[in-house]
Amino acid sequence: MLKQHARGLTALGLYALVWGVAVATLAATKADGFGDAIAVMGVIGIGFSAIGWLVTLGARPPVVEVRRPALELGAVLAFLAAYAVLFTGWGLSAFKAAAPAGQAHDILLLALKLVVHVVLPAALIVTIGGKLRPLFTARADTRGFWLSLVLLGAAILGVLSVISPALQQISGLKASPVLTAAAIAGTFVWLALEAGLCEEFLFRAVLQTRLAAFLRSEMAAVFIGALVFALVHAPGLWLRTDAGAAGHSANLLTATAYAVAVLSPAGVFLGVMWMRTRSLLLVVLLHALIDVLPNTAEFYRTWF
């Protein structure tokens, strides 16, 4: 037990060092994201993680069995390396250039993401002898599930309502209250599949469980997993063609710094919730709640 805590604290120290260097890099290069990094770490990385930890006190999530930790982690990391370059870096940009925006584009993109994030990793796990069933467990009856969903959901929506322009964008649609509510609900369901299920299955259920088995520390897996989560997104920020998008940079170092500084705190928060509940359903819903308000206006314009 002491060795597990020591590994966890070592991983926390490493994460803090890398995150600090990333923030310093953004400040030194005067790149966008410095203010966002501080806010996201304070609210999501620390604040939401602390709330999630407290409301799940007493929870006893099962350990996911990983028979050959080194082999399985190595296979997953190799998949993520290919994923970072071929999908987030080149694939998404090529897809957006080839498929015109609209409903058909979004449906095809959802299908592509489900294949890349769920079907292929699941096939990989089965191929190397891993078990899939524990990864897909909803565990809605576990201690703290509903309290976490209600309290953190309210906190997420409340914070986003204050710090993001999402509500102004939604108001600018001039939609009726019924259509607005339908658009928000539709956006939530869509994002639960496109962002929540896809990324949480790959990065929490698949990656974090292998890291925990290999490092022999659940806490270490949270922080190392958050760094991997961020680093995998860096090629996409560097190679993407929509130059006005948040985090985009023609400089790979700056793009990597942004990914670590701004994206990894969400990885910490969701990693903590997976560690404390082992509920794929919970982390999927929380991920969708983080994204729902900022994406509602775009979803309305596409589907309504």
User: Left if phi > 0, otherwise alpha if psi is -120 to 50, otherwise beta: which for 61?
Assistant: beta
Instruction: Give the pLDDT confidence score for residue 30 in this predicted structure.
Output: 86
Q: Cα–Cα distance between 262 and 203 in angstroms, integer?
A: 17
Q: Cα–Cα distance between 90 and 86 in angstroms, integer?
A: 5
Q: Are 192 and 284 in contact (CB under 8 A)?
A: yes
**CA-wise closest residue to 148 among 291, 284, 293, 5:** 284
Q: Is the pTM of this model over 0.85?
A: yes
Q: Cα–Cα distance between 115 and 111 in angstroms, integer?
A: 6
Instruction: Give the pLDDT confidence score for residue 241 in this predicted structure.
Output: 59
Q: Cα–Cα distance between 60 and 144 in angstroms, integer?
A: 10
Low-confidence ranges of the chain (pLDDT < 50): none
Q: Cα–Cα distance between 111 and 119 in angstroms, integer?
A: 10
Instruction: Give the pLDDT confidence score for residue 242 in this predicted structure.
Output: 60
